[in-house]
Structure 1
C-alpha cells in the first residue's frame, strides 16, 4: 500500500482530491437545507421540514458520492478492479436508497405533479420492470467488450453511469417509496423482492469469480489502461502527467486475475450487506405495524368488554331499583 500511495502522487493533489467535487457536494447539501429545512421550503401545508434522520441520510449519500467520485478512491478504482466493484456497489446500490430516504415525500409529490413524469416513474418502478432493468444493465456493463468500450470512451461512460444510477434509484423505489398516495407493496413482497435482486446479481459476480483468464483489457493492456485512467483525470491535469511512462504494475496490488476474482467476491459481499441492511429495515417496519395492529385490536376488545360491563351494570342497577319499588 505504501508503494501505491507513492505512485499515486505523480497525479498531483488536484487530480487525487478533486476540490471541484467538494464544492459541488457542499452546494448540493446547502441547497438541500435551504429547500427542505430553511427559508426556500415551499409554502405548502404539507411541506414539513426534513427530519433529522432524513438530513443524516442525505449527508451520508453526498459524503459517499464524494468518496467514490472525488477522492483518490475514484482514480484507484480505475486501476484496481476489486476497488472498481466496491465503487459500483456504493454508487449504484447504497447511494440511491439513501437519497430516497433523505428527501421528504412531499418533495417527490411536488415534482410528480407533472403527470407524464409520474406515469413514467410508475411504469419503470413496477417491481418486475425495475428488478430486471437494473440487474440487466449491471450484467450488460460487465460483458468484457461493453466494459472495455465504455471505460475508454468518456461520453458513453458518463451516459451509461447516469442510466445505471437512475436504474438503481428505480430499483429501490418500490421498497422505499415515500409518496402518501402510493400503492404500497406488502412487506412479504418487499422481502421477496430483495431476495430476488440478490439472486439476479449473483451470475455477474460468479462470472467474474469463476473466469480462468482476465476479462477486461483496460486493467492489463497498457494502451487501453492509459485511455481509461486518462479520462478519470480532471481536465486541467491531463496534460501534466505522461501516462505512457507509467507502468500498470506500479498500481497493482495483485495479479489481474486474482484482482478480478476478489472483485467478484467483494461485489457479492457488498450486495449482501446492503440488501441485508434494508431487509432488516423492512422487517422492523413490518414488526412495528403488526404490533400496532395488535394493540389496536386489543384496545377494541378492551373497549367492547368495558361497554358490555357498563351495560350489564346498568341492567343490574335497573333491576334492583324495580325490585325496590
Structure 2
C-alpha cells in the first residue's frame, strides 16, 4: 500500500449527508419545538452545542481520513478513532439530548423493556467492555478488517453499547437514574479497570499482534509497525484516563454544588432586615 485513497475513500459523503440530516432534524424538530411533547422543557444553548459537537466528532471519527488511514495504514490512528467514537461522542450526544425526547421513545413498551434492561449498570458496564476486548483479539480483528459487512456490524454494536455504557452516568431521565453520584464515580473507575487489559496487551507486546498492520508501507509516517502498535495502545490509555478523569471531576463538582445548595436551603443566611429586627428586639429587651 503506497498510495492514499481518493476523495470518496478519505471523506465519506454518504455519512456526511446522514450527519447533516440528523443535525438539521435536531435543530428543526427538537430545538425549535416542531415535535409537540407534553411538559417538554426547552433545550439550552449549551445542550445544542454539545449535541452538534458530538455529531461533528462522529463524522471526524468515522467519515474523515482518520477512518481510512486507521483501517489501511496506522493502528495508532485506528485507536484514536475508537477513542473518539466510543468514549467521547456518546457523552456529548447524551448531554445534548433532552429528557422529554428519550421519554417519548419510552412510550413503546418493547423499546422501554429492552432499554431498561440493557442500561442496568452492571449489564451496560460488562457488555461494552467485553465486546471491546473481544474486538482487539488478534484473530478477531484481522478477520473483521478483511470483511466489510462483519466489520460494519461489529462497529455498530460497539457504538450502540458505548451509548448504553454511558447512559447510567449521563442519564437524562430522573426515573431511570439508578446510580447516585458516588456510585457513578465507582462505575467510571470500574470502566477504567475493565478497559486496561486490552490496552496493556497492545502496549507491552514485543511483536506485531495484528497481521493486517504488518509490513505496511506508510507514505507519510516514520513509524515501524511495532512502534505504531504500541503508540496506539498508549493513545487509547492516555485519552481514556483523561476522559474518565474529566467525567469524575464533572460528577464530583456537580455533587458538591448540589450538596452546598441543599445546605444553603436548610440553613439559609439571615437577611439584613431580619438581623435589624432581631437587633431591635434585643434593644427593647
Identify whether the pair has TM-score above 0.5, normalized to the shorter chain. Answer: yes
Partner of 1:255: 224
Trace 1:114-129 onto structure 2 (pairs within 5 A). 114-129=108-123
1:40 — aligned with what? 34
- Which residue of the other structure, out of 112, 131, 152, is the alignment partner of 1:158? 152
Q: Is the counterpart of residue 173 in structure 1 residue 142 in structure 2?
A: no
Spell out the pairing of 1:54-93 with structure 2 (5 A cutoff). 54-78=47-71, 79-93=73-87
* C-alpha distance in structure 1 between counterparts of 2:19 and 2:233, whole Å: 30
Q: Counterpart in 2 of 1:190? A: 184
Paired residues, number: 280
* Correspondence for 1:265: 234
In 1, Cα distance between the equivalents of 2:204 and 2:181?
A: 35
Q: Return the offset for 1:48.
A: 2.7
1:290 aligned onto 2:259? yes
Moved beyond 4 Å, runs of 4+: none
CA shift in 2, pair 1:19/1:264, >3 Å: same
Match of 1:147 among 117, 141, 144: 141
Whole-Å Cα distance in 2 between the matches of residues 169 and 114 of structure 1?
A: 19
| Superposition deviation, residue 82 in structure 1 | 0.5
Q: Is the 8 A contact 2:168 2:177 kept in 1?
A: no
Q: Which blocks of at least 5 consecutive residues in structure 2 are unaligned?
A: none
Out of 260, 267, 278, the residue aligned to residue 247 of structure 2 is 278
Q: Which residue in 1 is equivalent to 2:127?
A: 133
Supply the distance in 2 between the matched residues of 1:123 and 1:251 (Cα, whole angstroms). Answer: 47
With structure 2 as the length reference, what TM-score do the two structures score? Answer: 0.90
Q: Deviations over 1:49-87 (max 9, x none)?
A: 321111111111111111111111211111100111110
Larger radius of gyration: 1
Post-superposition shift, 1:252? 5.1
Moved more, 200-209 or 45-54: 45-54
Equivalent residues of 1:17, 1:71 under 8 A apart: yes
Q: Return the alpha-carbon distance in structure 1 between the equivalents of residues 141 and 221 of structure 2.
A: 19
Structure 2 CA distance for aligned equivalents of residues 91 and 166 of structure 1: 10
- Which runs of structure 2 are paired with 1:173-252 in the superposition (5 Å)? 173-220=167-214, 248-250=217-219
**With structure 1 as the length reference, what TM-score do the two structures score?**
0.79
Of stretches 252-261 and 204-213 in structure 1, the one that deviates more from structure 2 is: 252-261
Let me know the Cα RMSD of the aligned residues: 2.5
What whole-Å deviation, never above 9, does each CA across 1:240-274 have from its counterpart, x for those lacking one? xxxxxxx6343553111111111111100111111
